[in-house]
Amino acid sequence: MSVQFKMIPKKNSLVSPPEVNYYPCAVSKGEVNLNNLAKIISSRCTISRPDCYGVIMALSEVIGEALSDGKIVRIDSLGTFQLNLLGTPAATADAIGKSNIKGAKINYKPSRELKSKMNKITYKRIR
C-alpha cells in the first residue's frame, strides 16, 4: 500500500506580488483505535484481544507516570518520550520559579527501526 497525497495551494503574502506555491499533503484513509490495535496485535501473537487492550492501556498509564516523575521513557522498537516545559522567560536564573511554567508537552522521537520503516513508504498522488 502507498500513502496517498494531494497538492495544497498556500499563498505567500510576504513577497510582492503574493505568490501561490503547492505543497504535498497526506490524505488519511481513516484511523486505528485502541480496539483495532488490540485485535491486530492479538491476531499476531498468543495473547487475547482483552489482554492486549489491558497491556496497551497499562503501557499508556505507566508512560504518563514516568513522564510525571521527570523520567525519559525509551521503548527500543518504538522510540523515546520526554517532557518539554512551556514557559515564560525571566531576567535572571534566580528569578525563574514555578510561576514561569505554563504547561508541558510530550516530545516523541521515533526509534531508528521505526524511522527506517518510514524510508520504505511509497506515495501515490490523487487528484
For the chain, list residues with pLDDT below 50: none
For residue 43, the one-letter residue type is S
Put simply, whether the predicted model's pTM sits higher than 0.85 gets the answer no
pLDDT at position 7: 92
| Every domain of the chain and the residues it spans | 72-113
Q: Are 123 and 87 in contact (CB under 8 A)?
A: no
pLDDT at position 28: 92
Residue whose C-alpha cell reads 524511522 in the numeric block: 115
pLDDT at position 92: 87
The overall average pLDDT reported for the chain is 92
